[in-house]
Amino acid sequence: MKKILIVLAVALVSALTLTTMASANGGPHGGFTPTTDACAGCHRTHTANGPKLLIINNTYTLCMTCHGNTGTGADSNVIDGIWLEGRNPTDTTGDANTAINAPLLGGGFAFYKTIATTSNHAVQETTAAAWGNGVNRGVTANLAGGNMNCASCHDPHGSTNYRTINVTVNGVAVNVAQVDEGAAKDYDTEQWGAGQSALCAACHSAYHQTAAGSGSDLGMVATGGYTHRVDMSYTYAGPGVPNQNPETVGLAGLTLPLAQTGTVNAVVCQTCHLPHGSSAAMTGHANSGVLPGNTSATDSALLRLDNRATCEVCHQK
Ligand code: HEC
Ligand code: HEC
Ligand code: HEC
Ligand code: HEC
Ligand code: HEC
Ligand code: HEC
């Protein structure tokens, strides 16, 4: 009897998980029923062309069949960084809340806001070397899973995290709260919850410094140099107090997003950086070197805004 109850409990938990997944992730990502057809969209059992039984011998190319600039299976065109409603008429995920032709929240791999990108994350499996990956800031070390692709950050089968972010990234457990899932999904307004920096910290651990005053703390030198603090509220009483809410007031029409808006107002990695790619222009002093430590006209370090507007919107010096 006890055994049957345990089996029933396990079955119920699985059923609940499936139900939650169904409302939590868009497109073919998760929410699978016992008789789902979804697997066949990406896998072949005996005649696969790629490892992990994938129909295409490259994860990036597989994602592009739907999310690419000529993809037909998803409204989000991550290459041009734009929402093209109607590319997948049978899937309504995000349609109600995302404006047609809106720039995507992740940025774009080739274009962002119709301008060619000046930096992007290398998702075509060309490198595994990430800055501050268990080593000092300014130094690179290889990722545990080898060269980076889309699935290094996203789980194509859905996940309990925001935007199907993997629950394990680079061997590190990652928890990013879901904030606009289900019918409320919105791909053009940031609504981040807790843990938004956790994804970045999984591969760039040395950049995740959260103690007050890390920009003047001598202890930081041994980890790669003094560094800007993250995951704090934008309002504080230290040196260089930010003038006003960078998200709601901004500066000259420029704004920067915060996480947990209204409650914590946290400055996270994505307040300054885009995860996919950016077309920000780097000129003058912002175009005077190679990374780490300085941007150039051909490497904008995924920064959201031109030059150092990412500093001025908050500090207004
Ligand atoms: C949108 C495309 C897509 C769909 C739909 C999909 N998969 Fe996958 N699957 C992938 C990719 C890409 C990988 C490789 C991920 C990686 O490299 O980390 C993978 C890996 C796997 C793996 C091995 C790694 C792991 O996560 O355990 C299994 C097992 C698997 N898929 C089973 C399934 C089954 C069963 C279904 C249907 C319920 C399914 N997949 C639906 C794309 C997909
Ligand atoms: C470095 C981690 C990372 C990699 C690599 C990555 N993504 Fe993302 N992606 C994110 C994050 C973080 C978001 C959430 C952006 C937000 O809401 O602010 C996102 C959002 C998305 C979205 C929702 C639309 C949007 O732009 O907000 C889609 C679709 C997507 N990614 C697909 C892909 C595909 C396809 C690839 C490979 C070509 C890829 N991602 C590679 C981190 C990544
Ligand atoms: C068969 C088509 C198809 C394939 C292949 C596909 N996707 Fe999607 N994906 C969709 C659709 C449809 C949505 C819903 C939003 C939209 O229309 O863009 C979506 C949404 C997403 C989202 C947003 C999830 C959320 O929580 O809001 C991410 C991230 C994503 N896909 C990543 C990927 C990655 C990474 C791959 C490759 C491993 C991939 N997709 C392959 C069709 C696809
Ligand atoms: C799966 C591991 C992984 C994750 C997660 C990840 N990165 Fe990266 N990142 C890399 C690798 C590898 C590189 C070096 C290759 C490249 O430029 O894409 C890199 C490069 C960068 C660069 C330098 C880009 C340039 O062109 O100069 C910045 C900035 C960056 N990451 C920020 C972030 C932020 C912010 C996040 C969170 C949204 C993040 N990364 C998440 C692996 C990762
Ligand atoms: C979203 C708002 C925001 C943005 C954007 C921002 N800052 Fe800050 N900055 C802060 C906050 C909040 C602190 C206080 C951190 C602390 O409590 O230690 C701070 C602290 C500082 C300090 C003092 C550090 C110390 O510990 O002595 C300097 C210098 C600084 N920022 C420069 C910059 C530069 C340069 C940029 C652009 C790359 C920038 N900030 C972007 C909010 C911001
Ligand atoms: C306040 C804005 C701001 C925040 C927050 C921020 N960065 Fe940066 N990041 C920059 C700027 C600006 C650069 C370009 C180099 C410079 O001027 O220091 C940069 C460069 C980088 C680089 C390229 C290598 C290098 O050292 O130049 C990586 C990797 C990176 N950031 C990761 C992160 C991660 C991970 C987080 C969160 C833990 C984060 N950043 C938070 C502004 C920011």
Pocket test for ligand 6, best of 229, 272, 304, 316 (most atoms within 8 A of CB): 272
In this model, does residue 92 exceed pLDDT 80? yes
Reported as a single tens digit per residue, the pLDDT across 236-257 is 656 666 667 899 888 999 999 9
- C-beta atoms surrounding 258 within 10 Å: 24
Please compute the mean of the pLDDT values over residues 274-287 and round it to a whole number: 97
How far apart CA 141 and CA 204 sit, in angstroms, is 10
52 lines ligand 1 (CB under 6 A): yes
Q: Could you say which ligand is closest to the alpha carbon of residue 286? A: 6
CA angle 303, 305, 306 (to 5 degrees): 105
pTM over 0.75: yes
Cα of 294 from ligand 6 centre, angstroms: 10
Name the burial class of residue 243, with classes exposed (0-12), middle (13-18) and buried (19+) by CB atoms within 10 angstroms of its CB.
Answer: middle
Cis peptide before 292 (omega within 30 of 0): yes
Please compute the mean of the pLDDT values over residues 253-273 and round it to a whole number: 94
In this model, does residue 8 exceed pLDDT 70? no
Reported as a single tens digit per residue, the pLDDT across 38-54 is 999 999 999 999 999 99
43 lines ligand 1 (CB under 6 A): yes
153 lines ligand 2 (CB under 6 A): yes
Q: What is the pLDDT of residue 3?
A: 36
How far apart CA 306 and CA 58 sit, in angstroms, is 33
Closest CA to 268 of 179, 158, 157: 179
Q: How far is CA 288 from the centre of its chain?
A: 28
Amino acid (one-letter) located at 187:
Y
Reported as a single tens digit per residue, the pLDDT across 216-232 is 999 999 999 999 999 99
Cα of 287 from ligand 2 centre, angstroms: 27
Cα of 263 from ligand 4 centre, angstroms: 28
Q: What is the pLDDT of residue 13?
A: 28
Long-range contacts of 311-317 (CB under 8 A, 24+ apart): 312/251, 312/254, 313/246, 313/250, 313/251, 313/254, 313/255, 313/256, 314/234, 314/242, 314/243, 314/246, 314/256, 314/267, 315/240, 315/242, 315/243, 316/242, 316/243, 316/244, 316/251, 317/240
CA angle 140, 112, 178 (to 5 degrees): 70
CA distances from 72 to 24, 75, 85, 87, 258 (A): 22, 8, 11, 5, 32
Q: What is the pLDDT of residue 2?
A: 35
Closest CA to 149 of 215, 264, 64, 88: 64
Q: What is the pLDDT of residue 263?
A: 87
Q: What is the pLDDT of residue 291?
A: 87
**What pLDDT band is residue 204 in, cutting at 50, 70 and 90?**
very high
138 lines ligand 1 (CB under 6 A): no
In this model, does residue 17 exceed pLDDT 60? no
| Protein residues with CB under 6 Å of any ligand 5 atom | 212-216, 228-229, 232, 234, 236, 238-240, 242, 246, 256, 267, 271-272, 308, 310-311, 313-315
How far apart CA 265 and CA 245 sit, in angstroms, is 9
In this model, does residue 169 exceed pLDDT 80? yes
Q: What is the pLDDT of residue 181?
A: 83
Please state, rounded to an integer, the average pLDDT across all residues of the chain: 89
Q: Could you say which ligand is closest to the alpha carbon of residue 306? A: 6
